[in-house]
Amino acid sequence: MPLVQATGLTMHFPTRNAWGKKALVRAVTEVDLSIDAGETLGLVGESGCGKSTLGRTLLRLLEPTAGRIEISGRDITELSRHALRPLRREMQMIFQDPYASLNPRMSIGEAIAEPLEIHGLAKDPPAQVRELLKRVGLRADAANRYPHEFSGGQRQRIGIARALACKPKFIVCDEPISALDVSIQAQIVNLLEDLQKAEKLTYLFISHDLKIVQHICDRVAVMYLGRVVELAEAKTLYRDPKHPYTQALLSAVPRIDPAARRNRIILQGDVPSPISPPKGCPFHPRCPVKDKPAACFDQLPKLRVLSNGSQAACHVAE
């Protein structure tokens, strides 16, 4: 049984359109997703496609508009805030911005000890904080200092230590390396891998960096305009992408081979508005496939299993 499972997960935000009429921002729409224990599932796509919203909704940091979320086989969708609190220990988040995710008025020791105190796990907070700092590669005396005294990479390590404090099973890593220097990114990725092996953690790894995703993830889900359009084993996806959008994303990854660079797929136009997505396949206005069938324009494609074992929501995937 999967550790995390989402069925028909939808997150729409009320807003008003350009004419002042009520409308909905369809950030996430009818997403079906499962993550096995000990697995790292990558989530990729252009900015604004709904990746971070999906991650926050899985943890119920955002209340879903519709759908079902199960953690360890238990439906958490309708739980009250009081009933959900014990389960918060099992699911944590590493935020994208290591600068904004720490309270500048709290010392590092206080920030890491806070979840221990909230969940009644503070047996010996100073010792527990020292141990957590050691596990993420920081010295014990960091507990007495404040966030502004640390570099971006060190702050992200502190954020990881805070996420580990309650011994979670599932962690959403929301672009945890995007704000860091390239040399520091590798260190953080290696740290996450080491912690996963030691603690048997399960990750949802959200990122724009397709090379990092290929390195760290077991499976990869590709999002476009709030929907998952392809889902496959990482090796399969990078070797044989089926959805035209996935093919375009992977063609943009820098390569050493000059011949590979010449195969770049350039998408035309802008991403459609999530307030008024296109009818039929949401990707069809930018799809590079010529002579598209009529179904692309009036029928929403569903995820289906293809010959290579991957799943793609595309009428012309094969």
Domains of the chain: 4-90+171-179+201-312 (3.40.50.300)
Contacts of 241 (CB under 8 A, 6+ apart): 230, 247, 250
Going by pLDDT thresholds of 50, 70 and 90, the confidence category of residue 19 is confident
Question: pLDDT by residue (tens digit) across 218-268?
Answer: 999 999 999 999 999 999 999 999 999 999 999 888 777 766 555 788 888
> Which candidate, 292, 175, 271, places its Cα nearest to that of 225?
271
Q: Are 303 and 224 in contact (CB under 8 A)?
A: no
- By percentage, how much of the chain surpasses pLDDT 90? 82
Per-residue tokens: 178 = 């995007």
Q: How far apart are CA 60 and CA 56, in angstroms?
A: 6
pTM of the model: 0.93
Quick one: average pLDDT of 112-122?
Answer: 93
Which residues are registered as beta bridge partners of 11?
28
pLDDT tier, 141 (very low <50, low <70, confident <90, very high otherwise): very high
Specify the pLDDT at position 260.
57
- Ordered alpha helix ranges (H), 51-181: 51-58, 81-88, 108-118, 125-135, 152-164
Q: Which residues pair with 312 in a beta bridge?
A: 230, 304
171-221 pLDDT per residue, tens: 999 999 988 888 899 999 999 999 999 999 999 999 999 999 999 999 999
